[in-house]
Amino acid sequence: MVERAGYGQFCPVSMASEVLCSRWTTLVVREFLCGSTRFNELRRGVPKMSPALLSKRLKELEQSGIITTRNVNGTTHYLLTAAGEELRPLIIGLGNWAQRWMESRLSLRNLDPSLLMWDMRRNLDTKTLPARRCTIQFLYPELSASQKCWWLVVENGKVDLCNFDPGYDVDLLVEAALSSMTAIWMGLSTIRQEIDAETLRLEGDKGLARNIQEWLGLSVFAKIPRMRSIGDSPKNVAVE
């Protein structure tokens, strides 16, 4: 195990916290659980984390026996060990708890188009899309030029994410406020609600537009029923 300044307690919760509770560590583990194995894939899942800090956390996780490395055609792949895989219910449980109990407006303060689109890319349900290549553009008008345009290109069951024009004809344009798209993704709103509120517009292939709520996939936490807030007394807690 990695040696570091700790809490000085024999309690297993304390020992686990010494490994997992340093800044960004649980999010890096989340990325492994979502299927990322390469450094650049991990970076796209934690876009606000510096490469130097990510490298440091990866070394710590390897020293702690949570991940191992493997060289594949000259590229380093990071893989969860049995100990790392056993963290899955813990990390998912943290997300479920936050989705259930934390105020939904807090989620919408932390808007990040890079993370949103990367999460969409890996959760898109390609089975509900046409067999041909589909190019779907997402436009967030309020963002800067470098962040406002994103493309998902789906072909042969694979999904590529681009923040530059891939050069294909766009089958469907999804224009929305970033907060609206994030709310849809997290299960706090729906496509229909945002269209009715005039915060989302669809243009292009009618079939893709009609089925968007199906192929979009949504976050793995979107179906968790929400409670009112952590500060409520038990007698006042109710499902929204």
Model confidence pLDDT, tens digit, residues 184-234: 999 889 999 999 999 999 999 999 999 999 999 889 898 888 886 555 544
* Whole-structure pTM value: 0.80
Specify the pLDDT at position 121.
94
193 and 136 share one domain: yes
Same domain, 67 and 130: no
Q: Three-class SS of residue 51? A: helix
165 within domain boundaries: yes
CATH code where residue 70 lies: 1.10.10.10
At residue 109, the pLDDT reads 74
3-state secondary structure 3-17: CCCCCCCCCHHHHHH
Collapsed DSSP state (helix, strand, coil) of residue 31 = helix
Task: Report yes or no: 195 and 155 within 8 Å, Cβ to Cβ.
Answer: no
Give the residue numbers spanning the domain of 75. 12-86
Compute the average pLDDT of residues 157-184: 95
